[in-house]
Amino acid sequence: MNNIKRIINFCVSIFFPKICSCCGKNLPINYESNICVECKEKLPLNNGLICVKCSLPLLDGGMHCKDCKTNKQIFFDKLLSAYIYKDDIATLIKKFKYNKKTFLAKDLSVEIINLIYKNKLDEITDFVVPLPLHFFKKFKRGFNQSELIAKEISKNINKPIYPKLLIRKKYTTPQFNLNKEERMKNLEKVFAVNKKYKDIVNGKNILLVDDIATTCTSANLCSKELKCAGAKKVFVITIARD
């Protein structure tokens, strides 16, 4: 039986070779990750001097970024990001989101899960909620990237996931070309807590999952809705910080 399995694996490796999603080199057929060891080591971890509130890298040190020092309308309790959005991690996230490389969800979740355990969020949060996509955008893309990451987190920290707890009421233009003020206007009254789930939010600590934090507008507005629905604390976790 083992010999047959080895023959099958050998044939698969010839006709459908597994390659690194970063550099493209061939990987062993039973190698668990889709990223080779060398490329993993080069991914830019967000482990330098960062804002203790939103994880923005701080060039000059200190405890908080300028926005977190002055903005009184930050509704999440803490935002954590595993990587800095640049170089290979930016390429991987784009492949994951726009090229339907959904298998990368597991690889992109590894450092997020390490970060959760390091900050003991697995102990203090009650359940996991992904940032929602509008149903048309989800239909067009075929999946919600934040939901795929949230499922990996839920499975690893053994906490329930509620993918439909937050809803996106309006279809909005892409955020990446907008400044912070434009993003706020673009997302005005977009998010809401699904009425079916309002009872389970009250008094709970929630882990909100997104893919990239740039101005943190989406995460902050979702956190606001969760707090208004009675959530005790909202912690945000993302793949990368821009």
Looking up residue 233, the CATH number of its domain turns out to be 3.40.50.2020
Quick one: 130 and 10 in the same domain?
no
Q: Is the pLDDT score of 1 beyond 60? A: no
Quick one: 107 and 36 in the same domain?
no
Q: Give the chain's domain count.
A: 2
The pLDDT tens digits of the residues spanning 109-134 come to 999 999 999 999 999 999 999 999 98
**Nearest CA-CA partner of 120 in 229, 235, 202:** 235
**Mean pLDDT estimate for the chain:** 91
* 210-220 average pLDDT score: 95
Quick one: 11 and 80 in the same domain?
no
Quick one: 18 and 56 in the same domain?
no
Distances (CA, A) of 63 to 60, 85, 120, 134: 10, 21, 20, 35
Quick one: 143 and 194 in the same domain?
yes
Confidence tier at 38 by pLDDT (50, 70, 90): very high
Quick one: 221 and 196 in the same domain?
yes
Q: Which of 85-99, 136-150, 161-175 has the lowest mean pLDDT?
A: 161-175
CB 96 within 8 A of CB 145: yes
Quick one: 31 and 130 in the same domain?
no
* 55-78 average pLDDT score: 92
Residue predicted with more confidence, 137 or 43: 43
pLDDT at 175: 59
Quick one: 21 and 104 in the same domain?
no
Confidence tier at 74 by pLDDT (50, 70, 90): very high
Quick one: 105 and 218 in the same domain?
yes
Q: Is the pLDDT score of 50 beyond 60? A: yes
By the 10 Å C-beta count (0-12 exposed, 13-18 middle, 19+ buried), 219 is classed as buried
Q: Is the pLDDT score of 240 beyond 70? A: yes
83: domain range?
43-241
pLDDT at 60: 83
Q: Is the pLDDT score of 3 beyond 80? A: no
Quick one: 119 and 38 in the same domain?
no
